[in-house]
Amino acid sequence: MLELPTHHVHLWCLTMNHCSCDLTFWANLLCADERARADQLRDQRDRSFFIWYRGNVRGILASYCGSAPQELQFRTGRFGKPELGAPFDVHQLRFSISHSSNRLVMAIVRKSEVGVDIEQIRSMPDLLDLVDSVFSGREQSVFRSLEESAKLPTFFSVWTQKEAYLKARGLGLNRPLKDIDVGLIPVEAAGLIRDGWDPSATKQWSLTAWSPVQSYAAALAIESGHWHVHHITDGSLSLWPHALKPGLDGAIILK
Ligand X SMILES: CC(C)(COP(=O)(O)OP(=O)(O)OC[C@H]1O[C@@H](n2cnc3c(N)ncnc32)[C@H](O)[C@@H]1OP(=O)(O)O)[C@@H](O)C(=O)NCCC(=O)NCCS
Residues that bind ligand X (CB under 6 A): 79-82, 96-99, 117, 163, 167, 170-174
Element of type H or E holding 62: helix 44-65
Q: Which of 96, 18, 19 is nearest to 57 (CA)?
A: 96
Q: Closer CB to ligand X, residue 175 or residue 240?
A: 175
DSSP three-state, residue 78: coil
Annotate 159-177 with b (16+ C-beta within 10 A) or e (fewer).
Answer: bbbbbbbbbbbbbeeebeb
CB nearer to ligand X: give 170 or 183: 170
- Burial of 112 per CB tally in 10 Å (0-12, 13-18, 19+): middle
For ligand X, the nearest residue by Cβ is 172
User: Rounded to whole angstroms, how far apart are CA atoms 115 and 79?
Assistant: 14
* Pure H helices in 114-204: 127-134, 137-144, 148-168, 201-204
CB nearer to ligand X: give 58 or 99: 99
Closest distance between ligand X and the C-beta of residue 50, in Å?
8
To the nearest whole angstrom, how small is the minimum distance from the Cβ of residue 160 to ligand X?
Answer: 8
Contact 5, 110 (CB under 8 A): yes
* Cα-Cα-Cα-Cα dihedral sign, residues 124, 126, 131, 134: negative
Q: How far is the CB of 57 from ligand X (least distance, A)?
A: 7
Nearer to ligand X, 111 or 228 (CB): 111
Instruction: Give me the least distance between CB of 172 and ligand X, in Å please.
Output: 3
Closer Cβ to ligand X, 134 or 249, answer by number: 134
Q: Are 20 and 26 in contact (CB under 8 A)?
A: no
CB atoms within 10 A of CB 104: 21
Shortest reach from residue 167's CB to ligand X, in Å: 4
CB of 148 to ligand X, least distance (A): 26
Closest to ligand X by CB, 116 or 184: 116
